[in-house]
A = this chain, B = another copy of it.
């Protein structure tokens, strides 16, 4: 028989741990003095402690360890438990490896130039959206080409929606894509407003579901459209630096826009990406 202090020191665990394991029924002392409440452990319990620590080290939760050690799971169930844990661990490893790569990319950027804005880039999924959409064509990328097209396009779309009795969302969405049809430089411009589910095509607009995007790099641009090209350039540089590549049509989500002056506009730039395969 070992007192809790002896058992803990030989077993290289803390006394508190043993008390905790007693409390949750994972490792109950072989004998508890009914008068003093002192816990006494048998030599054979070192083997049980060893099992517990081994399973715990593999990352099982104590409740799972309890079931395994008490023999409540047979070989197959144990196998399944460990296979599940392996999958979890593998996923965790992948995520952490990606995190580490991003962290290192970030440190490289910190040591280099533009230190402030780049940090705000984020990696996330984008939900699908039910929108009313209108399209036009611009002569190229860049706000100089886009602005004269997208502004009137939004105004017209908004007017058409109101005329059709639709109350559009205050959010607005624009997307840009190199045109496949026209000559090389043309850009297909789309303006869209999220609308309720029951709205369908109308005069001057089509209603579509924009599909969700699994992975996109995004950043927030605060201020007028005249400086948004800089934000786009930073976003694309960040994508490059972090080991991704653009995979889909880029979008601008206007979080704060029309009634306000352009100085207080807030826009989220969204670029779908995939991991770079090289």
- Residues of A bordering B, CB below 8 Å: 10, 12, 43-44, 46-47, 50-51, 53-55, 57-59, 75, 78-79, 82-83, 85-86, 89-90, 92-93, 96-97, 99-100, 102-104, 106-107, 110-111, 115, 119-124, 127, 171, 218-220, 222, 255-256, 260, 264-266, 268
Contact = CB atoms under 8 A, between A and B. Distances in A.
Contacts of A106: 58, 82
Contact of A50 (B57, B83, B93, B120): B120
A207 B220 CA distance: 70
Contact of A55 (B51, B55, B119, B264): B119
Counted per complex, copies of this chain come to 2
A83 B89 CA distance: 24
Residue from A46, A78, A82, A266 whose CB has the most chain B CB atoms within 10 Å: A46
B93 A107 contact: no
A99 B59 contact: yes
B96 A93 contact: yes
B110 A54 contact: no
A103 B78 contact: no
A150 B241 CA distance: 65
B103 A86 contact: yes
